Amino acid sequence: MAVTTTAFFLLLILTAAIATTSSAPILGLDTFLTHQSRLDRQATNDSFLSLSSTLRNSLSHSTPLSHTPHSLISSLLSLSLPLSLHVRLVGSSFPSSSASLLSFFLSASQSSNHFHVIAPYEIHSHRLAVQHSLHLDVSHSPSLASQLSKTLNSELEKTPSSLRSPLLSIPYDPIDQIIKQDFEKEKPVPGVYLYFLNLGPQSKPYAYNYGSGDSSAAFTKCLGSIWTGKDRYIWIDLGAGPVDYGPALSGDGVLPRGEFHPLAALHGRPKAQKALLADLASLVWSAYQVLLVPSLRIPVQFENSLIVQFIHVYGSEGSKDSSGLDWKSIERTFMDEAHDNGLLLGDQSLRFKTYRVSYSECPICSFAISRSINSYTSRFLFDNYTLIASEYLDSKRLHQILSDSAEEFRRVAGFPEEDFGRVLPVYVFDLDYSMLLLLDRYHQSVAFKDMVIAVRTKNTQTVSDYSCNGRHVFTQTRELERPLVGSILQSMWGVSPTHMLWSPRHNTTLVDYTWSVGQTPFGPFSEVSSLSFVQKDAARRNVLLTSLNYSITSAVDVLESIAAHGGERKLLKSSRHVEFVQRWNLFKYKLDKAVSALSHLDFEMALYYLRSSDHDLYAIHSLVYHASQEVEASLICFKDPPVPWTGIWLIALAFLFVFYLSKQQKLFRNKSKQF
Ligand SMILES: *[C@@H]1O[C@H](CO)[C@@H](O)[C@H](O)[C@H]1NC(C)=O
Ligand SMILES: *[C@@H]1O[C@H](CO)[C@@H](O)[C@H](O)[C@H]1NC(C)=O
Ligand SMILES: *[C@@H]1O[C@H](CO)[C@@H](O)[C@H](O)[C@H]1NC(C)=O
Ligand SMILES: *[C@@H]1O[C@H](CO)[C@@H](O)[C@H](O)[C@H]1NC(C)=O
């Protein structure tokens, strides 16, 4: 008993000591680095070299008590990114205990939360080393309610009721304008605002439409009760609806009709306040997971130059129909955001190029199509049961053929090989074919990690397997712009579709369409192809998280190699040890700064610190490398002493130098070509 208590106290003191020493601020370092970040935005120079000797000294003194590789590794693997979500309760009927109840419910769902990747390349795991945590701030906003009520009432009076739908379809825009104004007053905010509107009972049931015009029989406009802004705010009108949208027959992610989905919290039988707040908490948690810390679709490396190549394989010159395939409008969707500091980081550039290939003059195209066509049969009930055979393209096979014959394609289409940066070919097969032909039966466009494939035929419309508010959703099969925007976002920036989320608990991708109406370029329920803050932030965050994860993995590697050599004291002798400690502390300091910048959504600063920390990481690698070479050399020398020392040393030095160069190249090559 006494022993365990003493051990416990020792542990306590030790952890306290580590905690205080490692977080002791180094006077002047912050100012120095901030200054550097202005002088050298790209972090091309190694900031360690221009550190004053006092700063270097304090770097070697601010060491944690224990420098054993294992404690350093665990400090790296426990980096966590706090993100703030400001919940605004708009309306008078939220109980005053809402804030504490919401926090209570949400603290229950917080455990260790890592960022995840839906489709890692072969060897990687789905889990990134960095964690995230939700910081909730709840406030009531009664003044906003009266203004919103007034607008809502006038919209409800203006809108004629429709025979086809029990829900009155009112435009989202007037409500959004008011909320947007309220949000602007809070700017600049390093977080996301979530508005819950509860404006009391209204004269008629209603929901929001996000397009123009009412829904006609052929065209289902999906009504919803939420909106995600271009700026970092979301609103949910709890009084609207209840709406339902999802797979029509069966499948994951359907919003159950009625009162069971938390979006319908206010509908159905009256609920106890606690039950209502539990529903709100579940909405907050879902919004946090899907909109604030979405899974990465794929890991994405930072590249200076991003190029999208549209390769239009057209059927015949005569039937040239560019509607539904307007490259300029796709390009504009991205360029507008890029000019608005929305998608790109640092000095990244984004370019779009278009190439045209005639299907009849492209043997490889017809080969690819004919090799990938498959058919399936389905049973339909007309007068009797009839079997109908339909055709589709197997996207995986098409991908395989296109990858294998990229050279041939380049020759036929006459486009140059791009030497630098990330090039994303977007193959669009625009076929002179009257039947419906989709990819893998359901998709107009499919994203791969290295290309996008899309297809359309002369067929214009099909019923999809989705329904919205009781009616089938139609797919306009010649309209490729929105599907292409979504696919390019996935392949180029690793942005996940709004309905996909990696779940470590299920060890699979979960599908949930809750957030797939309104402003999202993904999914069958929305018609909007503009990006909300969710996609814009994810695009930049994904690159930074991938790079941060790489730095952590690489640092863990070097620490493990130190451990394998018997610890840092044994491996690194005096002066090297001092430099190691200084470099390490500087490296860790910069990683912490990068994480804190990410958590404040200051992506540019995070990029600076990550790039700057690369110099320190590299220096640590080479320190350890040289030390381990010496250890190995001294072991060899021990065996046969009579040797001409100077000669050996010269050769060894030359060898080391060559090795060092190759290692240096390798390190940087690894970094840029990791995936
Ligand atoms: C990097 O260092 C060199 C030499 O020390 C200097 O000439 C150059 O201006 C520095 N670059 C930046 C971007 O600060
Ligand atoms: C991220 O880092 C973890 C831990 O170092 C590693 O297991 C994982 O494979 C890395 N993932 C990627 C995509 O780099
Ligand atoms: C099913 O109905 C179609 C016409 O709708 C008819 O042509 C066909 O012969 C029928 N098949 C059988 C097996 O009755
Ligand atoms: C997750 O599923 C994959 C295959 O689907 C399997 O190889 C892996 O072991 C599973 N992981 C866990 C943690 O269950």
What are the tens digits of pLDDT across the range 392-431? 999 999 999 999 998 888 888 888 888 788 999 999 999 9
CB atoms under 10 Å from CB of 629, counted, come to 15
Is the Cβ–Cβ distance between 89 and 103 less than 8 Å? Answer: no
Ligand 1 atom closest to Cα of residue 40: 13
Strands (E), 365-512: 373-381, 385-393, 422-430, 438-439, 445-447, 452-456, 461-468, 471-476, 500-503, 508-511
Which protein residue has the closest C-alpha to ligand 1 atom 12? 40
111/213 same-domain check: yes
Give residue 112's pLDDT band: very low, low, confident or very high (50, 70, 90): low
Q: Which pLDDT does position 644 carry in this prediction?
A: 41
Range of the structural domain that residue 346 is part of: 305-461+481-490
* Ligand 1 pocket residues where CB is under 6 Å: 39-40, 44-45
Output the CA angle 337-449-396, nearest 5 degrees.
130
6-36: pLDDT as tens digits: 444 433 333 333 333 344 567 788 888 888 8
Buried b (16+ CB within 10 A) or exposed e, 189-207: bebbbbbbbbbeeeeebbb
335/447 same-domain check: yes
Out of 190-199, 252-261, 506-515, 593-602, which region has the weakest mean confidence (pLDDT)?
Answer: 252-261
40-49: pLDDT as tens digits: 888 888 888 8
241/353 same-domain check: no
Which protein residue has the closest C-alpha to ligand 1 atom 8? 45
The residue to which tokens 């392949």 are assigned:
491
Residue 150, helix vs strand vs coil? helix
Pocket test for ligand 2, best of 114, 128, 672 (most atoms within 8 A of CB): 128
- pLDDT of residue 523 exceeding 80, the answer is yes
Residue 501 is assigned to a structural domain of this protein: no
Q: Is 385 in the pocket of ligand 3 (CB under 6 A)?
A: no
Query: CA–CA separation, 192 vs 86, rounded Å?
Result: 6
- pLDDT of residue 511 exceeding 80, the answer is yes
Q: Is 383 in the pocket of ligand 3 (CB under 6 A)?
A: yes
248/329 same-domain check: no
| Counts of helices then strands in the chain (DSSP H, E) | 18, 21
267/375 same-domain check: no
599/659 same-domain check: no
Q: Is 128 in the pocket of ligand 2 (CB under 6 A)?
A: yes
Q: Which pLDDT does position 260 carry in this prediction?
A: 65
Can you read off the two tokens belonging to residue 470? 């009781």
pTM of the model: 0.86
Which protein residue has the closest C-alpha to ligand 1 atom 4? 45
Can you read off the two tokens belonging to residue 43? 């972090």
> What's the Rg (C-alpha) of the chain?
29
Number of domains in the chain: 4
372/440 same-domain check: yes
108/226 same-domain check: yes
Buried b (16+ CB within 10 A) or exposed e, 336-363: ebbeeebbbbbebebebbebebebeebe
326/446 same-domain check: yes
CB atoms under 10 Å from CB of 219, counted, come to 14
Q: Indicate which ligand has the atom closest to the C-alpha of 506.
A: 4
Pocket test for ligand 3, best of 379, 381, 382, 383 (most atoms within 8 A of CB): 383
Which protein residue has the closest C-alpha to ligand 3 atom 12? 384
Give residue 252's pLDDT band: very low, low, confident or very high (50, 70, 90): low
Output the CA angle 250-252-254, nearest 5 degrees.
75
* Cα torsion through 263, 148, 184, 243, rounded to 10: 20
Give residue 375's pLDDT band: very low, low, confident or very high (50, 70, 90): confident
The residue to which tokens 């996909």 are assigned:
500
Provide mean pLDDT across the span 58-68: 66
Residue 130 is assigned to a structural domain of this protein: yes
- pLDDT of residue 255 exceeding 60, the answer is no
288/310 same-domain check: no
615/591 same-domain check: yes
104/246 same-domain check: yes
How does strand 452-456 pair with strand 422-430?
A: parallel
